[in-house]
Amino acid sequence: MPAELICFEERCRARFPITEVIYNCPRCGGLVEAHYPEAPAPAAELRALWLSRRASNLPIDQSGVWRFRELIPFVSENDAICTLREGNTPLLAAPRAAQYGGLDHLVFKHQGFNPTGSFKDNGMTCGVAQALRLGMRRVACVSTGNTSASMAAYASAAGLQPIVFIPHGNIAYGKLAQALEYGARTLQVEANFDQILALVRRLADRLGIYLLNSMNPFRIEGQKTIMVEMMEQRGWRLPDWVVLPGGNLGNVSAFGKGLREMLEAGLIPRLPRLAVIQAAGSAPFYDLFHAADRSRLNAVTHPETLATAIKIGDPVSWPKALREVSNSGGTVEKVTEQEIADAKAIIGLCGIGCEPASAATLAGIRKLTAASVIAADADVVAVLTGNVLKDPDYIYRYHTDQLKAPNGDPIQAHFGNKPVVVPNDDSTIVELLNE
C-alpha cells in the first residue's frame, strides 16, 4: 500500500492520497501527517543499510535525510530529489555548558551545521521533493527567517521560484541576507508572523503556490530524521531527554513522530522525554501545557522576544506538539531574555555558538535541573537549531553592553567580551596584554 496523508485528529483519521495538495484535513480542519501503511524492513537490516550508505558517493546517500529514506517513503527512488547534503550534523560534548545547566554531561546536536545554517534544511529537502513531484512551479512560506533562507536555497537549487513573506523589521539580518542571495522574491509584510501566516494561507490557492511552512506534512518528514541520525550517532543508545526550542511547534511534532515511528519499527525500546523551551514573551505552549484545560491554546496576541526565530504567538502545530510531548512524559519550560542571552554566551564559550532561539535550550535545562525535573546525571541531548552567524547584531550588542529586551530593559552582559580599541603602539599593547 502506498504512502497516504492522514488526519492527525483521533476522532477523524480521514485518509487522502499522498498527492493531494492539502495542509489541513478537508473534513475536520485538523492537521495532517504522512502515513505509511507498510512496516519498514527489520531494524537490524535498516541499521546495516544506513551504515553502509556512509561509504557511498551517491548524493541521496550523502544526505543526512535521504540516507534514512526507508522511514520517509513518500516519494519513489525515481522521483526528483534536490539535496544540498543536509543533515549530517554533529553531536558535540560541552562540559562548560553542562556545568552551567546543572548537568554532569551535556551533548548538543548542532543543526546549525546544515547548508543554510538551520534545521529547516532537513525538512526543506523533503518539502521541495514533494513540490517537484506535484509539478509545482512556485513555492512560498512565511518565516521568522530560517525557513525563508532554507526554502530560498532549495527552491532555487531545484529550479522553482521561491516567494518569502517575512515580518518587516523583525528578522535577523543573516537570514534576510540569505533569502536575497538565494534569489527569493522577498516580501516584507508589515504584520507579525501569525498575521502573515493567515494572509499567506488565503493567498496560496489564489496564486497557485505551494506552501512550505511547517504545517506542510512533508517538511515534518524530513525533520523527523534529526532524531534518527541522533540515535544512529549514539550507537542506538537512548538519551533520557531531548531538549529543543519551540516556536510554531513543527520541530517537536517532527521529533515526536520520528521517535514514535522508530519505536514501532523496533529501532528504539521506548521514547525519550521531550522538553520544549519557549521565550517567556512568546510562550502560549507553556501556558497550555501547564493549564488545567488543555483543549484550546490561547494565542499570545503580541509575542515579544529578541530570539526572533521563536517570536510566534499562535503556533499552528500545537495539537501535534501537545500529544508528542505528553506521550513522551516530557515537559514545557519558559525562559527570560536575560536567561537566553547568558546561556547563549556560555554556548559560545564552549567554542560552539548558536543563534538566540537555540540558546533557550540551555537556559531551560538550567531551570529544569534546578527544579529537579531533569536529574543532574540524566543523559541529555539539546538541539541547537541555528548557526551563530544568523544574528551577529544580537551578539555584538550583548558583548558591548547594548542589548535591550523588547520592553527596553537592559540585558546584563554577565559573560560579556568587549573588544578593545588600541593605538598602533607596541608598548601599549604589550602592557595591556600582560596586565
249 belongs to the binding site for ligand F0G (CB under 6 A): yes
Which region, judged by CB under 6 A, interacts with ligand F0G, from 101-109, 204-212, 248-256, 265-273? 248-256
To the nearest whole angstrom, how small is the minimum distance from the Cβ of residue 29 to ligand F0G? 20
Q: For residue 93, list its beta bridge partners.
A: 107
Query: How buried is 431 (Cβ within 10 angstroms: 0-12 exposed, 13-18 middle, 19+ buried)?
Result: exposed
305 belongs to the binding site for ligand F0G (CB under 6 A): no
- By CB under 6 A, name the one of 40, 101, 222, 250 that touches ligand F0G: 250
Q: Judge whether 297 and 318 are in contact, CB under 8 Å.
A: yes
To the nearest whole angstrom, how small is the minimum distance from the Cβ of residue 386 to ligand F0G? 3
Specify the residue, 40 or 246, whose C-beta has the smaller distance to ligand F0G.
Answer: 246
Residue whose grid cell is 544506513: 50
Specify the residue, 174 or 272, whose C-beta has the smaller distance to ligand F0G.
Answer: 174
359 belongs to the binding site for ligand F0G (CB under 6 A): no
Which string of x and - marks every residue 144-183 that binds ligand F0G (by CB under 6 A)? xxxx------------------------------------
Q: Judge whether 28 and 14 are in contact, CB under 8 Å.
A: yes
Q: Under 8 Å CB-to-CB from 371, ≥6 apart: which residues?
A: none
CA distances from 74 to 39, 49, 187 (A): 13, 19, 31
Query: How buried is 207 (Cβ within 10 angstroms: 0-12 exposed, 13-18 middle, 19+ buried)?
Result: exposed
310 belongs to the binding site for ligand F0G (CB under 6 A): yes
256 belongs to the binding site for ligand F0G (CB under 6 A): no
CA angle 170, 171, 174 (to 5 degrees): 150
**Binding to ligand F0G, residues 25-64 (CB under 6 A):** none
How far apart are alpha carbons 369 and 357 in whole angstroms? 20
**Binding to ligand F0G, residues 259-288 (CB under 6 A):** none
Which region, judged by CB under 6 A, interacts with ligand F0G, from 18-26, 154-162, 249-257, 410-418? 249-257
347 belongs to the binding site for ligand F0G (CB under 6 A): no
Residue of 126, 283, 303 whose CA lies nearest to 197: 303
How many angstroms from the chain centroid is the CA of residue 81? 21
Which region, judged by CB under 6 A, interacts with ligand F0G, from 63-71, 230-238, 353-361, 411-419? 353-361
Q: Under 8 Å CB-to-CB from 393, ≥6 apart: which residues?
A: 172, 173
To the nearest whole angstrom, how small is the minimum distance from the Cβ of residue 112 to ligand F0G? 8
- By CB under 6 A, name the one of 116, 118, 178, 216 that touches ligand F0G: 118
Name the grid cell of 116. Answer: 543554510
How far apart are alpha carbons 135 and 190 in whole angstroms? 31
Specify the residue, 63 or 251, whose C-beta has the smaller distance to ligand F0G.
Answer: 251
To the nearest whole angstrom, how small is the minimum distance from the Cβ of residue 206 to ligand F0G? 22
Specify the residue, 69 or 320, whose C-beta has the smaller distance to ligand F0G.
Answer: 320
**Binding to ligand F0G, residues 201-220 (CB under 6 A):** 214
- By CB under 6 A, name the one of 83, 130, 305, 358 that touches ligand F0G: 358
- By CB under 6 A, name the one of 355, 365, 382, 413 that touches ligand F0G: 355
Which region, judged by CB under 6 A, interacts with ligand F0G, from 9-17, 35-43, 138-146, 400-408? 138-146
385 belongs to the binding site for ligand F0G (CB under 6 A): yes
How far apart are alpha carbons 142 and 145 in whole angstroms? 8
How many residues sit in the footprint of ligand F0G (CB under 6 A)? 22
357 belongs to the binding site for ligand F0G (CB under 6 A): yes
251 belongs to the binding site for ligand F0G (CB under 6 A): yes
Beta strands in 252-379 (DSSP E): 273-279, 331-335
Helix (H) or strand (E) holding 241: strand 241-245
Residue whose grid cell is 495539537: 319
192 belongs to the binding site for ligand F0G (CB under 6 A): no
Q: Judge whether 287 and 166 are in contact, CB under 8 Å.
A: no
How far apart are alpha carbons 212 and 386 in whole angstroms? 19
How far apart are alpha carbons 326 and 320 in whole angstroms? 10
To the nearest whole angstrom, how small is the minimum distance from the Cβ of residue 355 to ligand F0G? 5
Q: Which residues bind ligand F0G (CB under 6 A)?
A: 118, 120, 143-147, 214, 245-251, 309-310, 355, 357-358, 385-386
